Chain A
Amino acid sequence: MTDSSTKNTAPEKTAAGPATPHQAVDHEPGHEKAEQAARIQEASRSFGISAEQYMLPAAQQIRLLDPEGELVPEDQQGTGPGHEYPIPEDETLLQAYEALVAGRRVNDQNYALVRQGRLAVYPSSHGQEACQVGAALALGEADWLFPTYRDTVAAIARGVDPLEVMVSFRGDWHCGYDPHQYKVGPQSTPLTTQLLHAVGVAHAAKLRGEDTVVLAMCGDGATSEGDFHEALNFAAVFEVPVVFFIQNNGYAISVPLSSQTAAPSLAHKAIGYGMAGERVDGNDMVAVLATLRRAVRLARENSMPLLVEAMTYRMQAHTNADDDSRYRDADEVEHWQRADPLVRLGKYLTAKGALDDDAESRIAAAAEEVAASLRQAMTAEASNDPLELFEHVYSAPTAQLREQREKLADELQRSTTDQGAN
């Protein structure tokens, strides 16, 4: 922009006046607003707050339990009109605790299996289990979950067979479970692309008159990708019930959030799309569950998208190939150790009398059982059929793929014969 054009625009700004600068252009022909805007207006009015107050996250992150597992006083929870988060019932929290313990065990077992060379790779969500469990438990049976590659525990908490999830990390096939069976999208490594798939699933359901909610997960780094923008925008424009759930664990591999964005928070991005955003303590299972359950309910009831940002921390390196000492201090990790989601919820439930020693040992035994089955399955020799490589590329293999299949079959045949001869 040249100097002269800057000068030209300045008086216009002044003329529009500082008080309500946008009102005059709101009803200009050719500039009608999407219906979503009216819905947001209506919702915010019912809470006695402005649309902006409704869409912007609360002044502080929603936190219901402090790191010691004590209930945070109501006036310090971050809640307020339009941002109310009732505490889930004990039964649900106990179920969440069980899933947390199992999730932690899965993370640590898989981490060990990588070190033993039994798994090709495993991106651990150690420390982020409250987000993993919250995502799964917030959904109904007919709803869909779209996880990232780090969200194995969420997929398992949703009900996917742990051994089927591990097929990809063991290196047997890219996805080992049936997405339709569990209503869980396939985990894969391109960043953020799955958010658009979530929008599509919700859109198809909406066109058929179903009230399916889709919860789509991504990390803080993913919010820099173009598909993040396109997915949120499409969801808002098409008014589809998608809950975008960002686990902000502070790092995209090695790059800290400060190098990723200059936004006041990731939840603030929601208002730019005309949707509500909220920030929650991602290591507080109670708050995560309360926030996500409300988001899922609002999405379903109003057929609208919402954004939830969970502040959490990845306790282990990005993967086994990563060296996190190159980009973060041990002090920092130590700080987050004190905010461990399992310890917090465990203390709270124990103090309430909802969790006793019997329940603890039952829960630990169940988690150990999952770990044992993982150990057993991942240390057994795999029996992969190389000829399957050609089976699924198209609904029926092309002539070229049939030829290539025959070639490989012949190679396999000859190598078996050679081995027999030796």
Chain B
Amino acid sequence: MSTATAAKTATTTFASALNTAMSDAMERDPSVVVFGEDVGPLGGVFRITDGLTKRFGTDRCFDTPLAESGIAGMAVGMAINGMRPVIEMQFDAFAYPSLEQVFSHIAKMANRTRGRVRLPIVIRIPYGGGVGGVEHHCDSSEAYYAHTAGLKVFTPASVDDGYRMLREAIDTDDPVVFFEPKKLYWSKAEEDLSALREQYESGASGQDHSVGPQGRARVVREGTDVSLISYGPSVSTVLKAAEAAAEEGISAEVLDLRSIVPFDDEALQRTVTKTGRAVVVAEAQGFVSVASEIVARVQERCFHSLASPVLRVTGFDIPYPSPKLETHHLPDVDRILDALDELQWED
């Protein structure tokens, strides 16, 4: 596998990067097990676990009865007894029956037992909208989890991050809720997965597997006039908005948080003190949201560097709309540009 000498980039989807990450982790560590609804022979409704049962057998990747609390609760016991479960919640809103297990046990077990029982569980959740999904298939539920102490919350926005961050989540001794923007599943990039694998396994990326907050967020576009802060499914929209803003003479820096918990305050502070203006963009409804938290942190840490109020562009405070109306709800380029216009540029 590591015989590849020259870098071989190939068109790689976000989905196949995630699939390879799980398969590589299973190959390396026999305690990694994957289970959930339809993840076996079918490969998951989004095919993210495609081929894992065939390759590793039904002991390592298997279907469960249709019961999310059961999936999460069984993962707790398996983790207590030496396994590293990677469980799939079929859709964001279908994860809600598991919340008692997640909030009351997965998040709290290490603290409850003074670190004697750690639960290295990864809960994979396809989330967000933009795919024309029906109700209960498009929620942005990250705030519920991020609000619960004891959970880590990751959300990749690119193909290479999909690979790296899922490997890291599986290797982390803490429980990680891994939010996969479902609208990115079939997005493509030219990536060399075996190079990513070697880089990860040699420790060149994610050197500290406990995922310290240092350098977690990444600046995906440099700029000087305003910081656009975002994560997960919104990053691609924000990048388009930054391009459009450049045409209007505004140089926007784009920060992809990648990890909501732990939170990278330093990267946030760096970009906002540099630009003096900030807009936070997220799909989730804005009231009491991750976006609200980011604004609060900017205000606490960067107040004297700010040239204008910090704004949010988020979903409206409504239940997720039906497919034909979702474009009105989701933050888009125009709405982000409108927010940029409000940033008191005249002085």
Interface residues of chain A, those whose CB is within 8 Å of chain B, are 144, 173-175, 178-180, 185-186, 188, 190, 193, 195-205, 207-208, 212, 226-227, 229-231, 233-234, 237, 388, 391-396, 398-400
Partner of B77, one of A175, A178, A201: A201
Closest CB in chain B relative to A382 CB, distance in Å: 15
* Contacts known (A204-B78, A204-B81, A394-B152); A234 close to B70, Cβ less than 8 A: yes
A226 x B114 contact (CB < 8 A): no
* Contacts known (A399-B265, A400-B262); A193 close to B112, Cβ less than 8 A: no
Q: Lowest 6 CB-CB distances: which A-B pairs, in order?
A: A200-B77, A196-B73, A230-B70, A204-B81, A197-B77, A392-B115
Provide the bound-state CA to CA distance between A388 and B110, in Å: 13
Provide the bound-state CA to CA distance between A144 and B75, in Å: 16
A394 x B80 contact (CB < 8 A): no
In the complex, whether B322 has a CB less than 8 A from a CB of chain A is no
B104 x A190 contact (CB < 8 A): yes
In the complex, whether B274 has a CB less than 8 A from a CB of chain A is no
Residues in A whose Cβ lies below 8 Å from that of B41:
none
B65 x A197 contact (CB < 8 A): no
Residues in B whose Cβ lies below 8 Å from that of A207:
33, 59, 83
* Contacts known (A196-B73, A237-B65, A398-B261); A186 close to B78, Cβ less than 8 A: no
B149 x A180 contact (CB < 8 A): no
* Contacts known (A204-B83, A227-B73); A391 close to B115, Cβ less than 8 A: yes
Closest CB in chain A relative to B174 CB, distance in Å: 5
Residues in B whose Cβ lies below 8 Å from that of A173:
114
Q: Interface on chain A toward B: helix, strand, loop, or mixed SS?
A: helix
Q: Which B-chain residue is minimally distant from A167 (CB atoms)?
A: B114
Closest CB in chain A relative to B70 CB, distance in Å: 4
Q: Which A-chain residue is minimally distant from B297 (CB atoms)?
A: A400
B69 x A226 contact (CB < 8 A): yes
Residues in A whose Cβ lies below 8 Å from that of B152:
394
In the complex, whether B9 has a CB less than 8 A from a CB of chain A is no
B80 x A185 contact (CB < 8 A): yes
Closest CB in chain A relative to B151 CB, distance in Å: 9
What are 5 A-B interface contacts by the 8 Å CB criterion?
A193-B105, A199-B77, A200-B79, A207-B33, A237-B64
A200 x B114 contact (CB < 8 A): no
Partner of A199, one of B73, B82, B97, B115: B73
In the complex, whether B197 has a CB less than 8 A from a CB of chain A is no
A-B contacts besides A144-B81, A396-B212, 9 pairs, CB < 8 Å: A186-B109, A188-B105, A193-B105, A196-B70, A197-B80, A199-B73, A395-B110, A398-B263, A399-B262
